[in-house]
Amino acid sequence: DQQVKQNSPSLSVQEGRISILNCDYTNSMFDYFLWYKKYPAEGPTFLISISSIKDKNEDGRFTVFLNKSAKHLSLHIVPSQPGDSAVYFCAARARDDKIIFGKGTRLHILP
């Protein structure tokens, strides 16, 4: 039973365009939602977070949107750059501090 779902295993986007990665969740008790980025042979790296009481958080080229009624969040990367090619994990924190990860979306930025 997946509490955090990333339905797109992969996504290809032209360099300079917007990348949109999507994520759905089932547990309404999550208090923080997160995005982690992972390069091959490295551990995941924290990218951006959003509290459950907000609907948008922006950090440079990265913006996360939260739609609580739809139990949906998305990560926007504008403009996309070659270094953004990686696997992106959506995650959520439960009240007991556990982080539940999605299975990831592989983003390919095309030249």
Residues that bind another protein (CB under 8 A): 32, 34, 41-46, 49, 89, 91, 93, 96-104
Hey, what are 9's tokens?
């295993």
Hey, what are 31's tokens?
């208090």
Q: What gap in Å lies between CA 23 and CA 104, rounded to an integer?
A: 9
CB of 66 to another protein, least distance (A): 14
Q: Which is nearer to another protein, 9 or 16 (CB)?
A: 9
Q: What gap in Å lies between CA 79 and CA 105, rounded to an integer?
A: 18
Q: Which is nearer to another protein, 84 or 89 (CB)?
A: 89
Q: Which is nearer to another protein, 63 or 93 (CB)?
A: 93
Q: Which is nearer to another protein, 17 or 103 (CB)?
A: 103
Q: Where are the beta strands (DSSP E) in 26-103?
A: 32-38, 45-51, 56-59, 62-67, 72-77, 86-93, 99-101
CB of 61 to another protein, least distance (A): 19
CB of 32 to another protein, least distance (A): 4
